[in-house]
Amino acid sequence: MLSYLHGYHAGNHADLIKHAVWLAVLDRLHQKAKPFTLIDTHAGAGCYPLTGEQAQKTQEYKSGVALLQGWQPVHPVLQRYLQVLKGFSERHQYPGSPLISVSQLRDADHLHLMELHPGEHERLRTAIKQNRGNGHTHVHHRDGFEGAISLCPPKPNRGAILIDPPYEQRKEYDAVITAVKQLLKRWPQAQIVLWYPLLSQRAGDKAGQSEAMCETLAALQHSVLQAELRVDDPANDAGMYGSGVCLINPAWQIDAVIDDMLNELTAQLGAAAQSSVTWLNKTD
Ligand SMILES: C[S@@+](CC[C@H](N)C(=O)[O-])C[C@H]1O[C@@H](n2cnc3c(N)ncnc32)[C@H](O)[C@@H]1O
């Protein structure tokens, strides 16, 4: 079942934490001249019109990227994020993770994008053609976990994996755990950024699944850093009251970078927004 379309959610608070943390990871990869490989297991359509029917139906971007308009952040990663957003905002678009990654590639870097939905995959191909950057971008029409596992360890074997499934079905949480274990077996030093939703009791049997998934990942023999952004009280909300990312094998001292960055971001999102950064496991 592939019914999820990210166009309904593009530029919402979940995209903000996910894309800002992803840029913080890329920022650290840039600190060495050695090339890197990026793998995006659930790439989506790449670029989303905020004036389009999907975004207008939910208007989720209004409590997300729309609040960043005209903002001049102090944090260097947030400055970079705003710089990436600028060209797209001018066209009333929001760039998905593929175009954010493309914007950061250098000539010898590689980016692999996996998208299974036929329509979204076609839109992704078009978005990549229209927004060519440096480096080598490969678009795959295949299952993101199967594709990523088969590419690992990639060449160059320095880099990061973004895992951003739609979590439409409860079994996707277990699929993430299985895939992460296999990815780490093949590419033990991969930096993995895994996004997950924070769901209230109104989400039924999916409530508590993210927390259980993070706990299982924390028991693996790897460092795991958790960063979360909450925008609502779980008692009030309609389902998703925030979201988070687990960083597996995070770069040295990136916890302080992400903490500072999220503090500045939450201040811009309004009084209800709160962030936290926590070590779930620290192996060194
Ligand atoms: C949350 S969206 C991705 C958003 C994107 N990562 C971003 O940040 O801009 C999830 C995407 O995963 C795709 N998808 C669902 N199951 C998949 C699978 N098994 N393999 C690859 N893509 C899948 C969906 O079609 C959807 O486009």
Is the CB of residue 166 below 6 angstroms from any atom belonging to ligand 1?
Answer: yes
Closest to 102 measured CA to CA, from 141, 132, 147:
132
Q: Which helix (H) or strand (E) holds 161?
A: strand 159-163
User: Where does 187-220 have alpha helices with state H?
Assistant: 209-218
CA–CA dist 95, 268 (Å, integer): 20
CA–CA dist 198, 207 (Å, integer): 8
Q: Using omega within 30 degrees of 0 as the cis cutoff, is the peptide bond preceding 153 cis?
A: yes
Q: Answer yes or no: are the C-beta atoms of 198 and 228 closer than 8 Å.
A: yes
Nearest CA to ligand 1 atom 4: 44
Nearest CA to ligand 1 atom 26: 44
CA 18 / ligand 1 centre spacing (Å): 14
Closest to 233 measured CA to CA, from 260, 201, 195:
201
Tell me the backbone φ, ψ of residue 103, rounded to 5 degrees: -65, -20
Q: Which atom of ligand 1 sits closest to the CA of residue 117?
A: 25
270 burial via Cβ count (<10 Å: 0-12, 13-18, 19+): exposed
Nearest CA to ligand 1 atom 1: 166
List per-block mean pLDDT (blocks of 10 residues) for the chain, which spans 284 residues: 93 98 98 97 98 96 96 98 96 98 98 98 98 95 98 96 96 97 98 96 89 97 97 81 97 98 97 96 92
So what's the pLDDT on residue 237?
Answer: 65
* 50: its two tokens: 């905020």
Q: Answer yes or no: are the C-beta atoms of 38 and 159 closer than 8 Å.
A: yes
Q: Answer yes or no: are the C-beta atoms of 38 and 162 closer than 8 Å.
A: yes
So what's the pLDDT on residue 238?
Answer: 67
Residues known to be catalytic: 164
Secondary structure of 18-84 as H, E, C letters = HHHHHHHHHHHHHCCCCCCEEEECCCCCCEEECCCHHHHHHCHHHHCHHHHCCCCCCCHHHHHHHHH
217 burial via Cβ count (<10 Å: 0-12, 13-18, 19+): buried
CA–CA dist 284, 274 (Å, integer): 28
Crossing angle between the packed helical segments 254-269 and 13-30, to the nearest 10 degrees: 150
61 Cβ contact partners less than 8 Å away, ≥ 6 residues apart: 10, 11, 12, 50, 55, 94
Domains of the chain as residue ranges with CATH:
6-281 (3.40.50.150)
* 180: its two tokens: 């992460």
User: Where does the chain have alpha helices with state H?
Assistant: 13-30, 53-58, 76-90, 97-103, 118-130, 144-151, 171-186, 209-218, 254-269
Q: Using omega within 30 degrees of 0 as the cis cutoff, is the peptide bond preceding 156 cis?
A: yes
Tell me the backbone φ, ψ of residue 258, rounded to 5 degrees: -70, -35
Is the CB of residue 114 below 6 angstroms from any atom belonging to ligand 1?
Answer: yes
Is the CB of residue 115 below 6 angstroms from any atom belonging to ligand 1?
Answer: yes
So what's the pLDDT on residue 271?
Answer: 87
So what's the pLDDT on residue 58?
Answer: 96
